[in-house]
Amino acid sequence: MEMLKYLLCWFPMVLLAVLNGAARDLWYTKYTGALAAHQISTFFLIILIGLYCCLVVKWFPPNSEKQALFIGIVWTLLTLAFEFGFGLLRGNSWKQLLHTYNFTEGQIWILIPIWVAIAPYIVYRFISK
């Protein structure tokens, strides 16, 4: 039952990601171009998720480093399931969805699931010291 609060804490991250994507699409893509906007958006979302993790860990401190890492892994699995599930429902192909993970083409979205996986652990280590 304790993990339920952390599962529920995942949903605001979806809202942060959607708002971040909307800002990118409606505001600065026209000034920077698609690739630069994608990169800016990725880094901005990393910052937002980091700040949000600070709040979650402060309000609901994990019991251990292991639990903090487990929370991040669960959040990452939920994030990937949402991203790919929603993308497929919107009619995107696997090729289109995986394109944002192609680091060799400047696509750095892979940093998001990596950060989501480790952010609770890093924040926990930082706050608990």
So what's the pLDDT on residue 1?
65
So what's the pLDDT on residue 3?
86
Residue 44: closest CA among 122, 8, 59, 52: 52
> Global pTM?
0.93
- Residue stretches of the chain with pLDDT short of 50: none
The vertex-4 CA angle with 41 and 52, nearest 5°, equals 30
Q: How many CB atoms lie within 10 A of CB 81?
A: 10
Alpha carbons 116 and 67: distance in angstroms, whole number: 14
Alpha carbons 127 and 121: distance in angstroms, whole number: 10
